[in-house]
DNA sequence: GTGTGGTAG
DNA sequence: CGTTCTACCACAC
């Protein structure tokens, strides 16, 4: 009777509507989009010695992911194999599709997971449409995609789901609880159920619309899941693939009658390792626990045949199971504090993590390569140079934007051919440079190779000369290798020789955003942002941005504005959109001087005699006061 | 603040 | 069990 609260099912929160996109065989689709002839042919993408993915025509002929090249050629001699080791085209396509999907959401909540998955939180759009739904004519509904333009949207039938559902729609004459006309009741239980049902229906129609737009306008098909959180929407999408969508249908909680929660029956059938958030380490610990850890080490005891598969229900219903037990079972080096609580939630389909808001800049950029053998300083130097050059290029691509305001004109007498674009400005300055290697473990005396394929790393402050836009990438890279990376390498490998590296990674992290608004920047703490900006930036200029377009625009303009209203400042977009029309942000900051010597800002003490002028009101004050002062202008409350 | 580990595609 | 090239988070120091 008196179960501790933690052994009961955690509380579900089903008031959101989350759509999960997974582009079908993405790498192959990118090549198909570039060359549509490939669509009808068996196509495989190669990295090193394996097929990393292949299109469905190739799969029909027996190929699959992560297959060896030789094996693939034997299975399907006429397969077209393209090299996909350079990720640039995939990254660009991924950003383009992401920007496209994001342009539909109002909340800015659009999260990319890898190159080929996107979560959208469309709760606000769906609830908006839910509230204006005519319950007496559900089949003739209109889905509004913009708040201000009532013509922007599409017709749909709100009396049913679009696409597949889980469980599948009962084919026979339905005990369907829903009708073409929707009764409003005051019974709270019925209302909650009805509202969830409708929310999911609307979400399924929006998902179908977006899927079709993605295919028609961008040429990519996708597999989509619709539910109330990231876990469920991602998992349920897998039920019908490819080029399809699935909505997890109610009831999500056991009803007062006898109906079981569809969430539980859905999750229960999954192998423990299939649940996002439960990786191989956690899955291993969970299997050991429910199968019994001891029998592994007792010689005689073979545990009841081979029950290799442990399902979510096996863990959830294991005698005595609770979040506390899971916390104990799953703790250890590398595990997080409340892993058990998190996993206990996942086993019940509970996942309260938010869809991350679109960020203006990535948190880190890293470039790595793997090697059969890397053991001379000459080779190291050469590889570091290549990696660093790529890294600088990525930094320019992802961390700068065109300076399209009053020109930073070149007063120099002519521009050198190998200089890079100086008419750009930095959106963020990484503070830290990190070098990571993976040493190949030495062969041991007993002949067996030790299996520690671990990475080791050292980091340092990123020198500010990498931000000089006038210098060539090669110049910067060489300087960075000599002055920072080789010292880090010596720290990492004090031995003068004898190392054998299988991997080298160079990364910049700890982005200090030079962004403008607290909104498009991804909801960072503004005060912290300014504090950190003041660590590296000396002088700021505040500029009035053109305000919103005229209120008497055409329909086309309105549609564009509706679509554009939330895509203001995302780094994915910077390269596709060079104008920001209709942004709600009225201020942004332009860096005019980069401090060459950062050390003067390193101290905890802020030099109070260094004055900054506010370009809004003209006031002059010390840097530390500018923090609060600028916040004052940003936030009139 | 630095380095490691886990998870994910 | 590993394979490739990332990116992000959180813990322990």
Q: What is the pLDDT of residues A544-594, one digit of tens each?
A: 222 233 333 333 334 434 443 333 333 333 333 222 222 222 212 222 222
Q: For A453-474, what is the mean pLDDT?
A: 93
pLDDT at A524 exceeding the cut of 60: no
Q: How far is the CA of A381 from the C1' of B1 (A)?
A: 28
pLDDT at A253 exceeding the cut of 50: yes
What is the predicted pLDDT for the residue at A301?
A: 37
Q: How far is the CA of A412 from the C1' of C8 (A)?
A: 42
Catalogue the E-assigned strands of A176-321: 222-227, 245-248
What is the predicted pLDDT for the residue at A391?
A: 95
Q: Which residues contact A92 (CB under 8 A, 6 or more apart)?
A: none
Report which listed range, A191-195, A370-374, A440-444, is most confident. Answer: A370-374
Q: For A416-425, what is the mean pLDDT?
A: 66
C-alpha A1/C-alpha A8 separation (Å) is 11
Report which listed range, A273-287, A303-317, A596-610, is most confident. Answer: A273-287
Q: Which nucleotides of C are covered by protein (CB under 7 A)?
A: 1-12
Q: For A490-502, what is the mean pLDDT?
A: 87
A509 touches strand B (CB under 7 A): no
A275 touches strand B (CB under 7 A): yes
Q: How far is the CA of A339 from the C1' of B7 (A)?
A: 12
Half-sphere exposure of A239 (CA within 13 A, CB side): 25
Report which listed range, A173-177, A271-275, A592-596, is most confident. Answer: A271-275
A536 touches strand B (CB under 7 A): no
**Counting beta carbons within 10 angstroms of the beta carbon of residue A30, is it exposed (0 to 12), middle (13 to 18) or buried (19 or more)?**
buried
Question: Greater confidence, A78 or A447?
Answer: A78
pLDDT at A635 exceeding the cut of 80: no
Please give, chain by chain, protein residues whose CB is below 7 Å from any atom of strand C.
A 47-48, 50, 52, 66, 85, 87, 114, 280, 284, 336-338, 356, 359, 362-370, 394, 451, 453, 502-503, 505, 507
Q: What residue is closest to C8 (Cα–C1')?
A: A363
What is the predicted pLDDT for the residue at A189?
A: 57
Q: What residue is closest to B5 (Cα–C1')?
A: A334
Q: How far is the CA of A342 from the C1' of C10 (A)?
A: 14
Lowest mean pLDDT among A88-92, A301-305, A598-602: A598-602
Q: What is the pTM of this model?
A: 0.78
What is the predicted pLDDT for the residue at A595?
A: 25
Spell A117-143 as b/e; 16+ CB within 10 A means b: bbbbbbbebbbbbbeebeeeebeebeb
């Amino acid at each position: 009777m008196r179960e501790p609260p933690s052994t009961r099912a955690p509380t579900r929160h089903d008031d959101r509507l989350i759509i999960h996109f997974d582009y079908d065989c993405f790498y192959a689709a990118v090549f198909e989009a570039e060359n549509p002839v490939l669509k009808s042919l068996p196509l495989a993408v190669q990295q090193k010695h394996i097929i990393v993915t292949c299109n469905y025509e190739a799969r029909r002929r027996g190929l699959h992911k992560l297959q060896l090249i030789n094996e693939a050629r034997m299975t399907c001699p006429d397969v077209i194999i393209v090299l996909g080791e350079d990720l640039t085209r995939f990254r660009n396509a991924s950003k383009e599709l992401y920007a496209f999907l994001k342009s539909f959401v109002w909340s800015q909540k659009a999260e990319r997971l890898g190159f080929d998955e996107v979560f959208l939180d469309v709760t606000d759009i769906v609830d908006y449409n839910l509230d204006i739904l005519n319950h007496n004519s559900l089949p003739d509904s209109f889905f509004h995609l913009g708040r201000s333009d009532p013509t922007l949207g599409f017709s749909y039938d709100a009396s049913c789901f679009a696409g597949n559902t889980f469980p599948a729609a009962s084919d026979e004459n339905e005990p369907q609880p829903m009708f073409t006309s929707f009764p409003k009741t005051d019974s709270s239980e019925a209302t909650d159920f009805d509202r969830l049902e409708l929310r999911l229906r609307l979400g399924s129609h929006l998902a179908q619309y977006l899927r079709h737009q993605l295919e028609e306008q961008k040429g990519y098909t996708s597999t989509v899941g619709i539910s109330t959180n990231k876990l469920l929407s991602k998992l349920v999408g897998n039920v019908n693939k490819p080029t399809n969508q699935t909505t997890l249908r109610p009831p999500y909680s056991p009803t007062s009658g006898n109906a079981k929660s569809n969430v539980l029956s859905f999750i229960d059938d999954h192998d423990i390792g299939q649940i996002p958030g439960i990786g191989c380490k956690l899955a291993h610990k969970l299997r050991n626990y429910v199968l019994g850890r001891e029998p592994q080490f007792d010689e005689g005891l073979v545990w009841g045949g081979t029950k290799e598969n442990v399902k979510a229900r096996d863990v959830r219903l294991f005698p005595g199971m609770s979040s506390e037990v899971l916390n104990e079972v799953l703790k250890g080096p590398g595990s997080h504090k409340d892993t058990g609580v998190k996993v206990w939630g996942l086993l019940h389909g509970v996942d309260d993590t938010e869809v991350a808001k679109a960020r203006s800049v990535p948190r880190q950029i890293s470039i790595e390569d793997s090697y059969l053998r890397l053991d001379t300083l000459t080779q190291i130097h050469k590889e570091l140079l290549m990696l660093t050059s790529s890294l600088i290029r990525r930094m320019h691509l992802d961390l700068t934007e065109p300076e399209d305001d009053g020109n930073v004109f070149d007063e120099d007498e002519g521009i050198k051919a190998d200089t890079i674009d100086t008419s750009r400005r930095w959106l963020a300055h990484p503070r830290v440079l990190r070098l990571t290697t993976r040493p190949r473990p030495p062969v041991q005396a007993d002949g067996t190779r030790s299996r520690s394929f671990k990475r080791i790393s050292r980091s340092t402050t990123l020198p500010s000369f990498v931000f000089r836009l006038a210098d060539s990438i090669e110049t910067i890279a060489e300087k960075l290798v000599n002055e920072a990376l080789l010292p880090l390498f010596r720290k990492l490998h004090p031995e003068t020789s004898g190392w054998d590296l299988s991997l080298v990674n160079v990364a910049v992290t700890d982005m200090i955003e030079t962004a403008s608004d607290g909104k498009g920047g991804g909801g960072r703490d503004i005060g912290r942002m300014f504090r950190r900006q003041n660590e590296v930036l000396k002088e700021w200029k505040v500029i009035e941005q053109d305000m919103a377009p005229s209120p008497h625009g055409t329909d086309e303009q309105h549609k564009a504005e509706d679509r554009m209203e939330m895509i203001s400042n995302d780094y994915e977009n910077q390269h596709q959109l060079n104008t920001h029309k209709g942004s709600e942000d009225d201020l942004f900051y332009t860096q005019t001087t980069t401090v060459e010597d950062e050390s003067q800002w390193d101290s905890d003490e802020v030099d109070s005699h260094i004055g900054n002028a506010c370009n809004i009101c003209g006031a002059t004050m010390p840097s530390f006061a500018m923090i609060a002062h600028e916040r004052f202008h940003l936030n009139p409350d």
